[in-house]
Amino acid sequence: MSFTLPTLQYDYKALEPYIDAQTMEIHHSKHHAAYTNNLNAALENSDLKGKSIEEIFSKVSQLAPALRNNGGGYYNHNLYWDVLIPGGPAGPQGKLLESINGSFGSFDLFKEAFTKAAVTRFGSGWAWLIQKGDSLVINSTPNQDNPLMDIAEIQGIPLLTIDVWEHAYYLKYQNRRPEYIEAFFKVINWNEVAKRLKA
């Protein structure tokens, strides 16, 4: 079994004006494709071939950097595409909203904390909304690390993520990362985020 680049459920231009078509095409067809291909290459002569990505992450601290970096790049981008949608719901509803309010006080306070985590991630990386037990937490990770990895500062179930590598936003926003993060909130697929929440 090898990992495959997912087909997006929307056109590259579908998230405009918030995320531009050129960025989407390069990000998906070049960057994500490279992580996918490099992950498969790193697994070729490994006893982990055929294992799930979660199994690989569970002992990534013992593995070669190529598996950590490319495995993370493969998984993180899959989640990123899944939590984006053109014209999606304006915000979370139901149990997800209750969980956000219970963990952060309000949706506005959650958005403020998530934005801060994404803005202040030094260099390249990701910001996350994570389910840890019965509560939700926000964290960021460097490079292609994620909360499923055994090396993560905070481990848990990833519900929402934003890519803050420059390739995710630089063509449109240049060095204005906060503007990209604000735009990201316009295209979040809150229904997909809610589906990932465990009872």
Write the secondary structure of 107-148 as one string of H (helix), E (strand) and C (coil): HHHHHHHHHHHHHHCCCCEEEEEEEECCEEEEEEEECCCCCC
On the question of pLDDT at 7 being above 90, the answer is: yes
Q: Which two tokens mark 45?
A: 């002569």
Q: Please compute the mean of the pLDDT values over residues 105-123 and round it to a whole number.
A: 98
- Whole-Å CA distances, 193 to 16, 69, 80, 166, 188: 21, 24, 11, 24, 8
What confidence tens digit (pLDDT) does each residue in 134-189 have?
A: 999 999 999 999 999 999 999 999 999 999 999 999 999 999 999 999 999 999 99
Tell me what pLDDT residue 45 has. Answer: 83
Domains contained in the chain, CATH given: 20-199 (3.55.40.20)
State the average pLDDT for the chain.
Answer: 97
Looking at 14-18, 21-25, 46-50, 70-74, which range is the least confident one? 46-50
**Phi and psi, residue 9, nearest 5°:** -90, 10
Tell me what pLDDT residue 128 has. Answer: 98
Q: What is the rounded CA–CA span in Å between residue 132 and residue 137?
A: 7
Q: Which two tokens mark 88?
A: 């999606």
